[in-house]
Amino acid sequence: MESKRKQISRLLKGIERYNPDNIKELIDYVDFQAREPSAYDIEANLALLKLFQFNSISNAECVRKILLKSLTNLPASDFTLCKCLIDEHTQRHTIIERVLKLHDDLETCNFIEFWKELDAVEDLVRDIEGFDNSIRMFCRVIDITYQTMDRSTLCEMLNIADDELNEWMDRYNWKNMEDYILIQNHDESIKTRNIIERINFDSVMGLMKL
Amino acid sequence: MAALYHSEDFVEGGLSYAYDSGHVDYEYNIPSGLAMNVGASPMYDESEMQRHRIASMLQPEVIEFLVYFQKCIKEKSIGELQVIYETGFDKMSADFFRQESWPEADVVAPIVNNDKIFLMLYKELYYRYLYSKSGKNLVSQQREESYYNYCDIFNYILVGDYDSEESNPVGLELPNQWLWDIIDEFIYQFQAFNQYRSRVFAQQHKSNMESEFGYLSETSSWNVMSVLNVLHSLVDVSNINEQLTVYNSGGDPTSVSGVYGSIPLYKNLGYFALIGLLRLQCLFGDYYQAIKVLDNVDFNTKSTYTRVAACQVTTYYYAGFAYLMMRRYQDAIRSFCNILLFIQRTNKMFQAREYQQTAMSKINDQMYHLLAICLVLHPMPIDESVDSQLQEKCGDKIRKMQSRDVQEASVEFEQCFTFACPKFLSPISNYIDDGGRGIDITREAFNLQLKVFQEEVNQQYILPTIRSYLKLYTSMSMEKLADFLNVTMVDLKFHLLCYKHKLNNRVWVKGAGGLSGEFQSSSELDFYIDGNMIHIADTKVSRRYADYFIRQIHKFAELHNTLKQLPTPKK
């Protein structure tokens, strides 16, 4: 992956970035990212979208793959950045519209709705390897919100069966209590704070001289 | 580095004229250094007698001024040039050319002995003045002429003296303000041209637009690739990125600057070109690239690399806007506060020209609006003086944006965004919709960005309401909150997750790269859910009085000193 990234980054330097001859190579790179779950290069993808923008190319298939890959990088706002470079016409394409809906569900953290939608558009994401698991990584937001949660809700949010839950618990260090699961102890980190002003000597020193 | 186009050797006709109390007699050949023939400009068609009349109508003060101007450029007297550029030119404009534009370059040429370098720079000022007086009414030909003049200037700077065989840096020295204005105006005219073309194409079927439409379809001036090429070439030739990296780590930039980069003209143009690229990327909606361009510019700490204030303001405005669109609200707020404080503190209007003053106060207002949007979406404490100005200018709008009524809030967000956003552009020139009609493509570009922004705001519509409830309690049960908000428990869970998600953004921590940063949660109002209880943590900031007192004491001491030094009035 690293060598490929270095190779592609040559194409993105300076004015070379706008060279339409690079389009084919960048499209191949997107396919490569789709096949490897851990491969993701936001810069190359944005550059490709820009080349599409500059040369009035409408390639819904490629755009779909780029958008789905950027969903796997949530909570970073990569998807929004991509949206800013895709023109209205392409955005109204049926495939893209469904991807936009998926994004909307994720951004509002409506996980149940999201998994339902995903079921309905199974074939749309089939060629993105490891898509489901990458989305489950986003469910990390549960980590920062909840201290405890019961098993069934957690399974629902992650869309996994009860027996798979143990595997995910190990990954995130969640502990099994009797009725519920301890996610993260927030007692210490989230506390009411009082910010009091501290006057240090340096700022008052100037006054002393008067 | 690629030259924009190959300009053939400048060919000039001989020029000789004799003043003979009213009857002037001279030959004049039009310089043919342009790769493409400019369409006949109205001026060239006039008879020679007309030209003589205009030349003889130039007041002696104007002639004197132009000769002096030329001398300063030749002798590289930077100090005097600065005075001429910042005040002299405007004074002459106000005194002699209030109603119309300065005389055309060909008219001025005989006075300065056809000094081509001076004429290039003169034309730059001429067109800039023309744009400021009657920007909207300019036709394609005039815009194109200005474009070719810029090509000449940049070609000269990048390729070097026409006479020498290898390319060497030119021996020109101009005040930094002028260099910034060249880049700024270059991009501004590119924007204006795009908007104009877009308007014409949208109305291409109207009869009065046909000739303009025809002309615009053929021309290749002001195309996006050449503009990008200019900026990238300036950046490359000056090695400005390498210089900045070394400068940031405390080293000596001259070690990496190369032949061109060590000359102030190139170094400054390189830096200004970086800011130009930042601006251009924002206009095309590529916010990631916009911040990336500033990779080596340390704009997050308060140091300033350049003293041209307009450049600073532009940098922070576009950087802040890019951060806003990337949902990095904390970074956006910090950028805006930095520059608004800077503007407040320097206070004097540092722009000499009228149109630049209005531009500066407009961008000031725009930034307050953007700051208001950011603070509604991500409340956090900011500097008191900026806050008080903000309340004054946008207090009403802030209240509306926080309204429970989703419709009202949404309308207000849209209005603020429309006022404060940059004038977006689209890189393609012609666009026909499904009905076969031409579309105003710049309008489309704006609509796209607005739509992305609105979708983001809509996803967060319920968050301010949740925040207002959470502020009132230290702990609350989920059922109670669901009751207040009138939503189901299931939905509430998602809303709370959404709240945490939206407020957990990347924030720049340290170093020069603007894109880097750690994920940090909003500090003001935080919570976590334990079973069915929400535990809320608020941040109370006690009122800071020390800073205020210290400042006032210093001011008072200064006043006291001034009074002591005044002579006592004699009775």
| Chain B CA closest to residue A141 | B501
Closest listed residue to residue B450, CA positions, set B483, B476, B411: B411
Chain A closest-CA separation from residue B497 CA (Å): 6
Q: Which two tokens stand for residue B392?
A: 């004054």
Residue B228: its chain A contacts at CB < 8 A?
15, 18
**Are β-strands A146-150 and B525-530 bridged in parallel, bridged antiparallel, or unpaired?**
parallel
A95: Cβ contacts below 8 Å, ≥ 6 apart: A60, A61, A64, A124
- Find residues 239-298 of chain B whose CB sits inside 8 Å of chain A: 284-289, 292
Verify whether the Cβ–Cβ distance B448 to A88 is below 8 Å.
yes
Q: Which two tokens stand for residue A69?
A: 């890959």
Residue type, B424: F
- The count of CB pairs under 8 A between chains A and B is 159
In tens digits, chain B (571 residues) has pLDDT values of 333 333 322 222 222 222 223 332 222 222 333 333 333 344 444 555 555 555 556 778 888 888 888 888 888 888 888 888 888 888 888 787 777 778 887 777 777 777 888 888 888 888 888 888 877 778 888 888 889 999 988 888 887 655 555 566 777 888 888 889 999 999 999 998 888 888 887 777 777 777 777 777 777 788 888 899 999 988 888 888 888 888 777 777 777 777 777 788 888 888 899 999 999 999 998 999 888 888 888 766 555 566 788 888 899 999 999 999 988 888 899 889 988 888 887 765 555 566 677 888 889 999 999 999 999 888 888 888 888 889 998 888 888 888 878 888 889 999 999 999 998 888 876 665 555 566 778 888 898 899 999 988 888 888 888 888 888 888 888 888 888 888 888 888 888 888 888 877 777 776 656 677 777 766 677 888 887 888 888 777 777 777 788 888 888 888 998 998 888 777 6
Q: Using CB atoms, which residue from B444, B452, B474 is nearest to A84?
A: B452
Exposed, middle or buried, B205 (CB in 10 Å: 0-12/13-18/19+)? exposed
Residue pair B509/B518 in contact by the 8 Å Cβ criterion? yes
Residue type, A87: D
Residue pair B328/B506 in contact by the 8 Å Cβ criterion? yes
| pLDDT tens by residue, A86-110 | 888 888 888 888 888 888 888 888 8
Distance CA A82, CA A200 (A): 47
Q: DSSP class of residue B284?
A: T
Q: Best residue in B440, B494, B539 to probe A by mutation, most A CBs within 10 Å?
A: B494
Q: Which two tokens stand for residue B356?
A: 């630049």
Distance CA B396, CA B145 (A): 46
Closest listed residue to residue B225, CA positions, set A50, A23, A87: A50
Distance CA B161, CA B234 (A): 16
Q: Which two tokens stand for residue B497?
A: 């997750």
B327 touches chain A (CB under 8 A): yes
Mean pLDDT of all residues in A128-140: 79
Distance CA B57, CA B19 (A): 12
Q: Work out the number of other CB atoms within 10 angstroms of the CB of residue B520.
A: 14
Chain A closest-CA separation from residue B524 CA (Å): 9
Verify whether the Cβ–Cβ distance B287 to A147 is below 8 Å.
no
* Predicted pLDDT of residue B277: 92
DSSP conformation letters of B85-128? IIIIHHHHHHHH-SSSPPPPHHHHGGGGTT-HHHHHHHHHHHHH
Greater model confidence, B11 or A22: A22
Closest listed residue to residue B135, CA positions, set B85, B195, B208: B195
Global pTM value:
0.83
Closest listed residue to residue B15, CA positions, set B63, B64, B48, B60: B48
Verify whether the Cβ–Cβ distance A148 to B530 is below 8 Å.
yes
- Find residues 446-465 of chain B whose CB sits inside 8 Å of chain A: 447-449, 452, 455-456, 459
* pLDDT value at A187 more than 80: no
Verify whether the Cβ–Cβ distance B539 to A206 is below 8 Å.
no
Residue type, B108: V
Residue A196: its chain B contacts at CB < 8 A?
542
Chain B closest-CA separation from residue A127 CA (Å): 27
* Predicted pLDDT of residue B51: 55
Distance CA B295, CA B297 (A): 6
Q: Half-sphere exposure of B347 toward its Cβ, with a 13 Å CA cutoff?
A: 2
